[in-house]
């Protein structure tokens, strides 16, 4: 069995709203290994997005630790965390988060440009990623000219551009019809097989969760491993 890619150890996260403290994560632990699709399921508001944000270093835990390839992630300085977010991990969100004034190609170039790659190289990487998700003929279209499924595939291409080891996907099919959801998940499986990308996918869709290699259910701020039937 391969060494873990990401390990969450007893993560806690709380927020203060006025005098009230809201505890979202209460000792959540999970493991994602290289080239593995892991489903994260649970009711709305239970903390799935919060957990993904911590694992992606978009937010810091109140307590606990995240290890990436054995290294304590939050022991890094801010520059190291920025590099992690831009190079080692990719993000896919339910609502795509594309910039409406940019084309699919230009949206997909953004992560490479943030790593200060030359514009020509960023364009080439983005075009390759768009071809991988089946949008080579749509790369010069704006988001408003694309269907929801196509916009989500642009978001996936954008996440792939810097060749991350891990993609964190937060309800990536929550805005899509069942057929388009299957297309997106088929794409995840192909990228897992061909690129060796690992995915942690937060989803309400039980059919998609069953296709994962492994799964966790988040309940009362803790993650419990479940049998997805996949793998």
Q: Which residues contact 139 (CB under 8 A, 6 or more apart)?
A: 103, 104, 105, 108, 126, 127, 130
Q: Which residue segments constitute the domains of the chain, with CATH numbers given?
A: 6-226 (3.40.50.300)
d(CA 59, CA 83): 15
Beta strand pairing status for 63-68 and 71-72? antiparallel
Ranges under pLDDT 70 in the chain: 1, 229-231
| 108-129 pLDDT, tens digit each | 999 999 999 999 999 999 999 9
Position 196 scores a pLDDT of 93
**9-29 residue pLDDT tens:** 999 999 888 888 889 999 999
């Amino acid at each position: 069995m391969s060494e873990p890619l990401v390990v969450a150890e007893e993560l806690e996260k709380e927020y203060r709203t006025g005098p009230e403290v809201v505890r979202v994560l209460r000792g959540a632990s999970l493991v994602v290994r290289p080239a593995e699709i892991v489903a994260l399921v649970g009711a709305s508001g239970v903390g799935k997005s919060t957990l993904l944000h911590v694992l992606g270093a978009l937010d810091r835990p109140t307590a606990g630790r995240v290890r990436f390839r054995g290294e304590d992630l939050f022991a890094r300085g801010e520059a190291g965390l920025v590099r992690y977010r831009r190079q080692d991990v990719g993000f896919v969100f339910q609502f795509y988060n594309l910039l409406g004034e940019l084309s699919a190609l230009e949206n997909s170039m953004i992560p490479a440009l943030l790593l200060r790659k030359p514009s020509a190289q960023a364009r080439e990487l983005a075009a390759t990623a768009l071809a991988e998700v089946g949008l080579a003929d749509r790369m010069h279209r704006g988001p408003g000219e694309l269907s929801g499924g196509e916009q989500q595939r642009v978001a996936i291409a954008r996440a792939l551009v810097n060749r991350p080891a891990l993609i964190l996907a937060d309800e990536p099919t929550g805005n899509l019809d069942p057929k388009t959801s299957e297309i997106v998940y088929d794409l995840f499986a192909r990228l897992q097989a061909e690129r060796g990308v690992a995915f942690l996918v937060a989803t309400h869709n039980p059919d998609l969760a069953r296709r994962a290699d492994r799964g966790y259910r988040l309940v009362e701020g803790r993650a419990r491993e479940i049998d997805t039937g996949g793998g």
